Structure 1
Amino acid sequence: MLGLNTVWFVTGCSSGVGKSLASAIYAAGHNIVATARNVDTLSYLPDEANVLKLKLDVTSRETILDALSATVARFNQLDVVVNNAGYALMGDTEAVPESDARLQMETLFWGPVLITQNAVRIFREVNPAGKGGTIVQLSSIGGYLTFPGGSFYHAGKFALGGFTQSFAKEVDPSWGIKFLVVAPGGIQTNFGSNVHLEHRHPAYDTLTSPFNQLFQYMMSPAVQETFSQPGICAEVLFDAIVGQDKRPLPTRLLMGAETIPLVEAENMRAAEEVKAWKEETIKCSAEVVLKDVPSF
């Protein structure tokens, strides 16, 4: 179990889950490095020895490296990194400007990648040998299945999940480094202000378009009332991390009751498709099929 000297590094702490998690970490007496693009948004945390507030823009390599260096300089270690910062770019795929699509990928993928790479190095080379640390990627149910109107958002979340699961299989178990991908459904976090909606393409902007129907549904106050509460999500995540010695972390932690039937339906659809096309799949194989395929 993680003790009171645990050092947490959390991005996107100005609101939502990031703010709730930073508050929970502080309330538990742990050390919290809270980051945001605007440090003034972190005023809810007091100025105390176990609190470090830093400017960090996940699209800026300089601020990422500076923040991690400042963390080690202050606490001489790093134990948990939570890549939480992000936003959703929504719109018709044909209408999204390339610059906006690339910025979405920088925010959801390349920023967390750089933080993760450098955090793992700190876990291995700065922390005591074998102590390791934990990487948490705040992904989304949108990193497991897709909805209309979010192609670049899904691309970023799918990429981050694949990167994380592959990286987790590379690290030496003796290093003590763990990885967790968190996949929430809807969360009550000022949804509208966290969504960047692009100009519409006239061919898709119709009353019956799948994206219009989805967006109308998601923006309904009645629907948003059913979303998970950020404070409870933060509590579940905090408890999972500090209790991982007793209950090992899953590969992916779903959050929100609606995510379970969505994942089950997606898995069933994929299984049925594999079965329906099994003959064609096998037909593509060489005559000799390897039986002793290694498992990772």
Structure 2
Amino acid sequence: MSKPRVWLITGASSGFGREMTELVLKKGDIAVATVRKLESLDDLKAKYSPSQFLVLKLDVNNAQDIKGTFVKIKEAFGRLDVVFNNAGYGIMGEIEATPEDAARAVFDTNFWGANNVSLEAVKFFREVNKPVGGRLIVNSSELGVHAVAGLGYLSCSKHALEGITSALAQELDPEWNIKVTLMEPGFFRTAVVDSLVNKAYTHPAYTKPTLPSVAMTAHLVNGQPKGADPSKAVQRVYDLAAHPEPSLRFPLGKDAIGMVREEAQSILKDVAKYESWSEGLEFGA
């Protein structure tokens, strides 16, 4: 491209958000990074000029904060090319063990917060950008395709995010030139494990080590799996943002590919098993 792209990256203080912010800046693009604590990106602010790097405080649970962020981007740069809708977090534990207020908080961020960012992005791409258009990349998860025991509410929030993003993508007028992609990463070396372990709940009825939820908790707490390199992952996402015809779903990581394929095969197996049960149940029959 002849001029640097303007990126909005939410949840930029750590994980994929931090990695993407660093990559965008190294590539010479313009990064608008949102965080809860402004000082978390002071090291990057010291390296890059305000004309290339803008840090904004944002709580995605606050709809007015989100709207204000897009207003500031318009004032500062007049356009926005890519939104990396990344902010989110998870909790661990059996569904029976998880307090409702904790589960609702996950949905407030992972579903409502992310969806509100997407809606403002679409509005900006359509009404502010000249020419009209933009790239919306929503960070979902392999768990948004294949739910995992012990990570039930995290899985459920990502399933909901997948559903609303897929529906939104179908509703957009192709003339608006807005490309939407669901990033579905597997396990990468970010702070996600520490976050999950620090928000773990247990239930006295779930004690057998062979139970899937118990095994998953033990794996995460004691095994501390290394995961893949997140810096390599964001390079793939950066490349995807320039793809002329990106797909709606973008599973990323060998484990994600395997999990998504397993889920697809399981669904097709069930369809084949019960297909004959729908004989005589056609529309109008």
Bin of the TM-score, shorter chain as denominator length: over 0.9
* Deviation of 1:4 (Å): 3.4
Q: Which residue of 2 aligns with 1:285?
A: 282
Which deviates more, 199-208 or 166-175?
199-208
Q: Deviations over 1:87-140 (max 9, x none)?
A: 11111111211111111001101011111111111111111143x001110110
CA distance in 1, matches of 2:64, 2:230: 29
Mapping 1:127-166, distance limit 5 Å: 127-130=129-132, 132-166=133-167
CA distance in 2 between counterparts of 1:13 and 1:129 reads 27
Once residues 5 and 69 of structure 1 are traced to their aligned partners in structure 2, the CA distance between those partners, rounded to angstroms, is 20
Residue 10 of structure 2 is aligned to residue 11 of structure 1 = yes
Distance 1:286 1:70, change over 3 A: closer
Please state how far the C-alpha of 1:199 moved relative to its aligned partner: 3.0
Spell out structure 1 runs of 4+ moving beyond 4 A: none
Higher mean alpha-carbon deviation, 48-57 vs 202-211, is at 202-211
* 1:182 CA drift (Å): 0.4
Unaligned runs of 5+ in 1: 289-296
Deviates more, 1:192-201 or 1:118-127: 192-201
With the length of structure 1 as denominator, give the TM-score of the two structures.
0.90
RMSD: 1.7
Q: In the alignment, which residue of structure 2 is the partner of 1:236?
A: 236
Residue type of the partner of 1:168? A
- Equivalent position of 1:27 in the other structure: 26
On the 8 A contact 1:3/1:30 being kept in 2, the answer is: no
Query: Secondary structure of the residue that 1:95 maps to in structure 2?
Result: coil
Q: Which amino acid aligns with 1:166?
A: A
Q: Which runs of 5+ in 2 are unaligned?
A: none
**Paired residues, what number?**
281
Q: Secondary structure in 2 aligned to 1:43?
A: helix
1:204 maps onto 2:203 in alignment = no
User: Shift of the alpha carbon at 1:190?
Assistant: 2.3
How far did 1:44 drift? 3.0
Contact 2:32 2:56 in 1 (8 A): yes
Deviation at 1:50, TM superposition (A): 1.1
Q: Distance in 2 between matches of 1:287 and 1:236?
A: 47
Alpha-carbon contact 1:129-1:175 (below 8 Å) kept: no
Equivalence for 1:272 = 269
Q: 2:53 aligns with which of 35, 51, 54?
A: 51
Residue 35 (structure 2) aligns with: 36
Aligned with 2:75 (options 73, 76, 99): 73
Distance 1:205 1:58, change over 3 A: farther
Aligned-pair identity in percent equals 31
Measure how far apart 1:287 and its partner are: 5.9
Tell me if the contact between 1:142 and 1:157 (Cα under 8 Å) persists in the aligned partners: yes
Q: Secondary structure at the match of 2:241?
A: helix
